[in-house]
Structure 1
Amino acid sequence: MVAAPGLRGLWVDAFGPGLRTPAEVAQTVSDAAGMGFNTLFVQTVRRGDCLCLQASVPVAADVQPGFDPLAEVIRLAHARHLRVIAWVSVTGAWNASLPSAGAAQVFALHGPDARDSWLSRRPDGSWKSGADAWLDPGIPAAADHMVRSAVSVVKNYDVDGLQLDRIRYPDGGDWGYSPVTLARYRQETGATGTPAPADERWKAWKREQVTALTRRVALEARAARPGVILSAATIVYGNGPADLTAFRATRTYSEVLQDWPAWMREGLLDVNVLMNYKRDGVNGQESWFDHWNAFAGQQRSGTAEVAAGTSMYLNSPEVTAAQAARALTGGLGWVGYAYRTPTSEVYAQRQTQAQGLAALRGVLGSVMTAEGGSGGAVVWTPTPSARRAVLGRVVGTLRVGGLRVDAFAADGSPLGSTVTDGNGYYGFTDLPAGTAEVRVGGQRWSEPLVLGVTRFPNLLLRTLRAGN
């Protein structure tokens, strides 16, 4: 019997029917509610375009003119007591299969041929990763754009949460070779020449750019909408590690440069949704699935939650139900990918979507309801986090990225250290009540903290002391 309360979510992607017209949205919400899901992860910012009208990026070209998919999802889902998490592809810039959103799309403005291109590149200058182009977190202007895109959704829509997807570098490990990124790396570290992809110092620096981007989005979003649920769709390739030492040997940490355990420890995430896309019965992948779930569960901090995201499109409905049950009985939530392709038969085009949804509905049973199927739908009630955080910025005529910032309590005891991003932003989360002081480059500022995000004034640096 599966009676564990918690998240039962459904990813709704925007690469096919589901969100583009009022009829599609109505069907999507009806199907999800009818199957017992309590949360929709709705693709919103896709590849530099939006399935919405009120964001800082242009409207997707394949949306019915004048229609606002996100607003309609929220209206219908909230009426059915479903939460709506806006799913944002943070570094997404372009996909070959999608129509252009026009001259305002980031790829049109800062694509491969632009003087100020924002794309992540390989050492040879190439920028395509399969059918996609990615923005580089190491380019300050690109990072500003990515933060603004995500936060504009939170500011303008009554979403319950924000999910950060593609908050990393592309697969392969040989990315980040934009001239701007390389120049920043050399300036901030004193390195010379062009680092090799396997250079550990280079990888650590890029990993920090990803974490800094995550930190700023999280704090800006929480400042814009207190109580918003911050989530990330995180990478869990291969077999799960036993501990943090083993994690640092995984592709997650060493290749795509995503240190999500650190994000959890720092309090940047309220819900970590693992993209735990494994196939039971294939090369022992069921144990890989369980190992990642167990490891992620060990990384929880405070009220943060973990959910296993499963690949419904790679599995039979029976396997999907079994994986969901294992996650839930293990104390995690569950999110299925995806509404458009709910079974492997639908993905292989041997079954219609409606047939796949019906087959899935038939086996989920007690997974989707309380008390073994007799207690009705499960309500997910995330525990609100009583967080105190600081968001500030260093400005000046000298470099503002890569500067160490220290935080102290009123009695002088240290609260933590971080480094500024390429735009000079820094932040601290989960601070104790009282007054916090930040120190950087000989400058300092103290401020009493309130629940939520306290914005510190800009700190002007004209000179840097040794060691900064």
Structure 2
Amino acid sequence: MPRGGNGHRDGKGASDQDDETGGIRTMRAFWFAAAAALLTCSALAQEREYRAFWAEGFNAGIHSREQIDRMIQRLTEAHCNGLWQQVRKRGDAHYRSTYEIWARENPQHFDALAYLLEKAHAASPKIHVHAWINTCAVGGDTRPGHILVEHPEYTSISDEGVAFDNEAMKIDPAHPGANDWTFRVYLDVARHYPVDGIHFDFVRYGHPRWGFNPVSVALFNQATGRTGKPAWDDPEFQQWRRDAVTALVRKVYAHTKAIAPDIAVSAATIAWGNGPGSYDEYLTSPPYCRVYQDWAGWMREGILDINCPMLYFSNTRYREFWLNWIAFAKDHKYDRQLVIGQGIWLNSIPDTLQQIQDSRAPSAKGNRADGILLYSYAGTNRAEDGSEQQYNPDLYRALSQPGPYGDPPFATPVEAPPLKPPSGGIVKGFVLTDPWLAPMVRAEVSLWDGRERRQTVTDVTGFYAFIDVPPGRYTLTISPKPFRDQTSQIIIAREGDVVTHHVFPGTASNRISYPWMVVAGNDRCDGVVYLWDAKTGQGRRVPVRPDTPLPFQPGDIVAVSYPGGGLPPVIRLIDISAQWGRRLPRPELAVTPAAKLHSPEWPTGRPVCMEGRVERLTPDGFMLRDGSGTVEVSGRYLKRDFRFSASPGERVRVRGVVDKESGLMVTPFDHQAVEELHDGG
């Protein structure tokens, strides 16, 4: 019997009338309270929140169109609005990458990310897709082109020289080459795909004794004035490694917001052991001290939009740990978003539903999460016999449909919440020196508004950034010892502004030239890049040094240094254009007649669009004829990498770059830059 009934009987008063009247008043109050509670629950159910799954790339999910169709159907029926899909597992790609090899599971080179985005964004409500990219953990693939096959010197090793840390082979983020490669992988996705987010995972070291890459140790000694090999538990060297991880996150975040501010940057963060009861306890916790991942610091600085702590705890065995971690995470959002990661493969379906309630509940301080992220789409629950269940329809159904597990947590579809708007701008740049454009590591950088001074240092690639800079005027001072300080005036006009300021101390002004935009990359142009400066209308064809680790691609902003002495020029990536890529369309180009290309107005490096018919094939491509003349179109890399072929008489549109240094020629931007046209259209 309900407690209210017992209470009424035990509390009868002087007369039946008084009791009846009191009972009526009590029942009215009860129903008013119940109605209010129902309205509150209904309102909460309608609030926008993330309801999402992590989906790994190892299991079935994105290996074919059929798998993607099935996954989107399941998520839609479960009333989910988000998917954190793994597209880089171990230095491979389930998308068309500029830098990395295709995943083994994808021998047909199916662009799974493109198809997934098409289907997910067409769902109702829209399913937001966050590209899950493993950051440091890349081991397990020995094919040519893999990052550790091409660059074993990027590997993180222990103080005893061991590479495998009982988890995975990893790159060391304190190695400049590893940092640059990984940074470019993230931005490659952000600039070419309409993703809703990019997602860090394994953005950390694997063990407190790892991180002794020789280049990292040498840079540490250079920055601190020390010699020899530090102890693994040396506090200064621990902070060096922690700073290296943070610097990579900051670099990706700042550049992502510069080219696509609507992309959410998130991270799967560590939550091992019992959750901390305070920030001071967090500073002794495993994420901070064991794997050098300061995710609370990232939230405070503002270099994550969404924190996705991996709170993988059995609800029956480690409920206290679970509750302590979710409370700490809710109380340390710093006006960013928090999506609670639940390890559903460890729990029964009822326990998963209980943890969803916990995730939604406010902390003791009244702070809430912004959604739920279930790990994983494939590993759905733990059965009564302790075995892991995969793709269990009961779990998907229990999320949205009433049944044996009671009322569903996702009873009504809702939209995902919008990103928090920026509370300030970003100031970023590189500090590079000498004819080789070498990064200046740990150069001091300060930002002063007349009242408050913010300070940072450059990372191992010479990069610095200030995040959430309020609108106003600032003095930016860079102290690149042993060179003199360089001071500039910076203005942040409004929230969301990004100001980029590079300095090149110690480099002769006549030896360096910047900024140039790459309009055709060296991986497609036989070892040269074509550069264009839209402000001056000048272009260049520059050979790339053979030891350059990664190709340059259209939209890269570079600096070029000429060391002299007959040495080839040095090209360094310093930014990325916000006007180039599949996500951010190339600048519109009017069709230009072939005859005009002979004029000085069309120098080497200038982007061009042409239409005409294939007159004949050449060893490297084909001759294109329009009504005014002919021009050769280079197609060597198209034939080599994409099996491109053209037939005489075909009508085509070509978008590319003019090259007059090899005879008059047009080099296509990429494999999508040659389109077959049908007569009349």
Is this a same-fold pair by TM over 0.5? Answer: yes
Of 458, 469, 477 in structure 2, the residue corresponding to residue 420 of structure 1 is: 458
The corresponding residue for 1:326 is 358
Indicate the SS of the match to 1:299.
Answer: coil
Once the two structures are superposed, what CA deviation does each residue of 1:279-311 show, in whole Å capped at 9, x if it has no partner?
1111xx212111111111221223x11121011
The answer to whether residue 504 in structure 2 is matched with residue 460 in structure 1 is: yes
In 2, Cα distance between equivalents of 1:45 and 1:254: 27
The corresponding residue for 2:258 is 223
In 1, Cα distance between equivalents of 2:458 and 2:138: 25
User: Do 1:84 and 1:160's aligned partners in 2 also have CA atoms closer than 8 Å?
Assistant: yes
Which protein has the bigger helix share? 1
User: Do 1:120 and 1:176's aligned partners in 2 also have CA atoms closer than 8 Å?
Assistant: yes
The answer to whether residue 434 in structure 2 is matched with residue 402 in structure 1 is: no
CA drift of 1:60 comes to 1.0
Indicate the SS of the match to 2:312.
Answer: coil
The corresponding residue for 2:240 is 205
CA drift of 1:348 comes to 6.6
User: Do 1:74 and 1:158's aligned partners in 2 also have CA atoms closer than 8 Å?
Assistant: yes
The corresponding residue for 2:92 is 49
The corresponding residue for 1:266 is 301
Deviates more, 1:360-369 or 1:247-256: 360-369
In 2, Cα distance between equivalents of 1:198 and 1:338: 35
CA drift of 1:454 comes to 2.1
Alignment TM-score, normalising by the size of structure 2:
0.62
The corresponding residue for 2:322 is 289
User: Do 1:25 and 1:73's aligned partners in 2 also have CA atoms closer than 8 Å?
Assistant: yes
Q: What are the residue-to-residue correspondences of 1:22-101 with 2, within 5 Å?
A: 22-80=65-123, 81-95=126-140, 100=142
Q: 1:52 to 1:348 in 2, by over 3 A?
A: farther
Q: What are the residue-to-residue correspondences of 1:231-380 with 2, within 5 Å?
A: 231-282=266-317, 285-302=318-335, 304-330=336-362, 331-332=368-369, 333-345=371-383, 351-355=389-393, 357-358=395-396, 360-361=398-399, 368-369=409-410, 373=411, 376-380=412-416
Indicate the SS of the match to 2:431.
Answer: strand
Q: Name the amino acid aligned to 2:237.
A: W
User: Do 1:36 and 1:368's aligned partners in 2 also have CA atoms closer than 8 Å?
Assistant: no
**Count of paired positions:** 443
User: Do 2:74 and 2:396's aligned partners in 1 also have CA atoms closer than 8 Å?
Assistant: no
Q: Name the amino acid aligned to 1:262.
A: G
CA drift of 1:455 comes to 3.8
Q: 1:430 to 1:349 in 2, by over 3 A?
A: same
Deviates more, 1:288-297 or 1:139-148: 288-297
The answer to whether residue 216 in structure 2 is matched with residue 184 in structure 1 is: no
* CA RMSD across the alignment: 2.2
CA drift of 1:169 comes to 0.7
Q: 1:190 to 1:74 in 2, by over 3 A?
A: same
Deviates more, 1:306-315 or 1:324-333: 324-333
The corresponding residue for 2:515 is none
The answer to whether residue 59 in structure 2 is matched with residue 19 in structure 1 is: no
CA drift of 1:23 comes to 0.7
User: Do 2:345 and 2:388's aligned partners in 1 also have CA atoms closer than 8 Å?
Assistant: no
**Relative contact order (alpha carbons < 8 A, sep ≥ 6): 1 or 2 greater?**
1
User: Do 1:150 and 1:217's aligned partners in 2 also have CA atoms closer than 8 Å?
Assistant: yes
In 2, Cα distance between equivalents of 1:418 and 1:293: 31
The corresponding residue for 1:120 is 156
Indicate the SS of the match to 1:126.
Answer: coil
In 2, Cα distance between equivalents of 1:157 and 1:215: 21
User: Do 1:447 and 1:456's aligned partners in 2 also have CA atoms closer than 8 Å?
Assistant: no
User: Do 1:45 and 1:149's aligned partners in 2 also have CA atoms closer than 8 Å?
Assistant: no
In 1, Cα distance between equivalents of 2:305 and 2:407: 26
In 2, Cα distance between equivalents of 1:224 and 1:55: 18
CA drift of 1:132 comes to 1.7
Q: 1:383 to 1:132 in 2, by over 3 A?
A: closer
CA drift of 1:185 comes to 0.6
Indicate the SS of the match to 2:169.
Answer: strand
User: Do 2:154 and 2:171's aligned partners in 1 also have CA atoms closer than 8 Å?
Assistant: yes
Alignment TM-score, normalising by the size of structure 1:
0.90
Indicate the SS of the match to 1:430.
Answer: strand
Once the two structures are superposed, what CA deviation does each residue of 1:353-401 show, in whole Å capped at 9, x if it has no partner?
24564575457775543xxx3xx21222224422411111111137611
Once the two structures are superposed, what CA deviation does each residue of 1:431-465 show, in whole Å capped at 9, x if it has no partner?
111233321211122222254352423212239xx
Alignment identity in percent? 28
Q: 1:448 to 1:236 in 2, by over 3 A?
A: same
Please list every run of 5 or more consecutive structure 1 residues that lacks an aligned counterpart in the other structure.
112-116, 464-468
- Find the structure with the greater CA-based Rg: 2
Q: Name the amino acid aligned to 1:460.
A: F
In 2, Cα distance between equivalents of 1:295 and 1:131: 27
Indicate the SS of the match to 1:461.
Answer: coil
Of 381, 386, 402 in structure 1, the residue corresponding to residue 417 of structure 2 is: 381
Q: 1:447 to 1:61 in 2, by over 3 A?
A: same
In 2, Cα distance between equivalents of 1:210 and 1:324: 31
Once the two structures are superposed, what CA deviation does each residue of 1:234-284 show, in whole Å capped at 9, x if it has no partner?
1111111111110011111111001111111111111100101111111xx
Q: 1:367 to 1:354 in 2, by over 3 A?
A: closer
In 1, Cα distance between equivalents of 2:499 and 2:404: 49
User: Do 2:78 and 2:397's aligned partners in 1 also have CA atoms closer than 8 Å?
Assistant: no
Q: Name the amino acid aligned to 2:428.
A: L
Once the two structures are superposed, what CA deviation does each residue of 1:399-418 show, in whole Å capped at 9, x if it has no partner?
61112211112xx2334111
Of 146, 151, 156 in structure 1, the residue corresponding to residue 192 of structure 2 is: 156
Indicate the SS of the match to 1:343.
Answer: strand
User: Do 1:52 and 1:71's aligned partners in 2 also have CA atoms closer than 8 Å?
Assistant: yes
User: Do 2:102 and 2:109's aligned partners in 1 also have CA atoms closer than 8 Å?
Assistant: no
The answer to whether residue 145 in structure 2 is matched with residue 104 in structure 1 is: yes
CA drift of 1:68 comes to 0.9
